[in-house]
Chain A
Amino acid sequence: MKYQDAVAKYDPVLGIEVHVELGTATKMFDAAPNTFGGGPNENTTPASLGLPGALPSVNGKAVEYAVRIGLALGCEIAESCRFARKNYFYPDVPKNFQTSQYDEPIAFDGQIDVELEDGTIVPVQIERAHMEEDAGKNTHVGGAAGRIHGAEHSLVDYNRAGVPLVEIVTRPIEGAGERAPEVAAAYVRTLRDIFRALDVSEARMEQGNVRADINVSLRESPDAPLGTRTETKNVNSFRSIERAVRFEVARQADVLDAGEAVVQETRHFHEDTGGTSPGRPKSDADDYRYFPEPDLVPVAPPREWVEEIRAALPELPAARRRRLLGEWGIGELEMRDIINAGLLDQVEATVAAGAGPDAARKWWMGEIARLAKQSEVSPEALATPEAVAELQQLVEAGKLNDKLARKVLAGVAEGRGMPAEVMAADGLEIVQDDGALEAAVEAALADNPDVVEKIRGGKMQAIGALMGPIMKATRGQADAGKARELILAKING
């Protein structure tokens, strides 16, 4: 069934679980480094390998980050909470259980406003946010394209095992209607922006720092009880989230229309086809036999500590975006581009350093982003907001044109100093010396008598033909307006 027909007939309900890897120095329950990349199995301790007798210890910074996230999501912070063992066998979980939280999450009962592209606000209720640890990474060998199906064996790297995670679970998101795919993606995007603002995670989707499990169910009408849901696991880009929701809505509508029942199961999303396929059905295998972790004592965040963290929360992305949209007078899409490029801090600081919002945005999103891509570094490594503001001032003072400014910027990016220094060192300032310009103009006129005739005859566009030689003679530093004035003065004078 087409998606449009499916949502015309059925009411989709979403439930989203987001895992975020925290950017702490060490793992959740041991002091092994929490770093991305590196050689396999280089970042482990007996505890993260689940070796006999190894005892866990809770990372206090991870608890602080979890509280920060909970508060930013409008949650209550538990007076006391404990860890629990979630028991299951899988090679990427070396202890045969994941240390998580079950009946006592650290944060619960929150709500955030999710803003869609057209400005529509969708409130999303947060059921809970709890602390847990990540699993290792399996590589399947022998099957088609690294898939588990048909694999002969698997290889396990435990560097990621024990990396601190916070899992955030929504209550059912109702009333999204045909915009369900957009709402799902916008919700995860909102969380991603919040994680970055809170400085608790790099929150890079492409590195798997943020992963979403998307529950979808359909019902006949908004008054009907919730339908049977499926859970599409590990959908890791905003576009994939939208596609996965669209696919599941259409697929489930087909199942229901055929008079069959939706099977409650986990499903896998496939980037290549945009479809989902069944994983294992919810069954005995989901009997995780949670019980309180005996090796860890409860975490009871003192109230005054929680209030300190609350008081130190940064301005949250939605509020900041609204404030800057008003202050800068730019469009929603332009703002979205800046945020997605991760350059909001730079643009804001550049404006604070004296540049206009349009100029600040243009430099960061244009030439600096281009240079950064070219040299495969982050834009903020190439220039400071102060340097960009100074560059813009030089342009506005008429000392640099756009082309020269880009040359100066390249020098700044190479670490050769602030723009004024680079401009002086390379002699790039626009020639205001009338003597040199006049000489260049006279030479151009003498060399191109035919062009001079045309201009005399009233063909003003012929002036363009003289600009090339003039710019060449002045190494591109001639003020074009001034050159034009001189040409006309000499021909007509």
Chain B
Amino acid sequence: MAEAAAITAEQVKHLAELARIAMTDVELERMAGEIDTILSHVARVSEVATDEVPATSHPIPLSNVLREDVVGTSLSAEQALSGAPAQDQGKFLVPQILGEE
């Protein structure tokens, strides 16, 4: 089993951007090492995953758990907004959205 390629600071930077987390170069380097260690532990699973073990997304052999299309209890607008840091006109107020147009 070949060793997985080491995680680079560049890859961590990409992940951090996707997750909208600001990280310094020092943090990126440190995190690269930590993630690398975690991944190499997890990679040991592939040592026991033979061809007879199919890839599994759901551990429980269950399908078709469907709900009837019947309206249930919904939140009132007041309840829905009760945890909002800011609101206006019955809507959630969010800061300026960047990165579009």
Chain B residues with Cβ below 8 Å from A61 are 68-69
Q: Min CB distance, A89 to chain B, in Å?
A: 6
Residues 30-53 (chain A) with a chain B CB within 8 angstroms: 30-33, 39-46, 49, 51
| B69, A299: Cβ atoms closer than 8 Å | no
Residues 59-93 (chain B) with a chain A CB within 8 angstroms: 60, 62-77, 80-81, 83, 88-93
Chain B residues with Cβ below 8 Å from A138 are 97
Asked whether any CB of chain A lies closer than 8 Å to the CB of B17, the reply is: yes
Q: Chain A: how many interface residues by the 8 Å CB criterion? A: 62
| B71, A297: Cβ atoms closer than 8 Å | no
Secondary structure of the B side of the interface?
A: loop
Given the known A-B contacts A42-B76, A89-B20, are A153 and B69 also in contact in the complex, defined by CB atoms under 8 Å? no
Asked whether any CB of chain A lies closer than 8 Å to the CB of B54, the reply is: no
Q: Min CB distance, A73 to chain B, in Å?
A: 22
Chain A residues with Cβ below 8 Å from B76 are 42
Chain B residues with Cβ below 8 Å from A25 are 69-71
> How many angstroms from the CA of A421 to the CA of B10 in the assembled complex?
82
| A155, B89: Cβ atoms closer than 8 Å | yes
Chain B residues with Cβ below 8 Å from A177 are none
Asked whether any CB of chain B lies closer than 8 Å to the CB of A433, the reply is: no
| A155, B88: Cβ atoms closer than 8 Å | yes
| A91, B92: Cβ atoms closer than 8 Å | yes
Q: Min CB distance, B86 to chain A, in Å?
A: 8
| B74, A156: Cβ atoms closer than 8 Å | no
> How many angstroms from the CA of A57 to the CA of B66 in the assembled complex?
7
| B74, A44: Cβ atoms closer than 8 Å | yes
Asked whether any CB of chain B lies closer than 8 Å to the CB of A272, the reply is: no
Question: Which residue, B17, B20, B89, B100, has most C-beta atoms of chain A within 10 A?
Answer: B100
| A40, B77: Cβ atoms closer than 8 Å | yes
> How many angstroms from the CA of A154 to the CA of B72 in the assembled complex?
29
| B91, A40: Cβ atoms closer than 8 Å | yes
Asked whether any CB of chain A lies closer than 8 Å to the CB of B24, the reply is: no
Chain A residues with Cβ below 8 Å from B80 are 41-42, 44, 49, 158
Chain B residues with Cβ below 8 Å from A139 are 91
Q: Min CB distance, B92 to chain A, in Å?
A: 4
Q: Min CB distance, A289 to chain B, in Å?
A: 7
Q: B68, B74, B101: which contacts A42 (Cβ < 8 A)?
A: B74
| B99, A285: Cβ atoms closer than 8 Å | yes
> How many angstroms from the CA of A285 to the CA of B100 in the assembled complex?
11
Residues of B within 8 A of A (CB): 14, 17-18, 20, 57-58, 60, 62-77, 80-81, 83, 88-97, 99-101
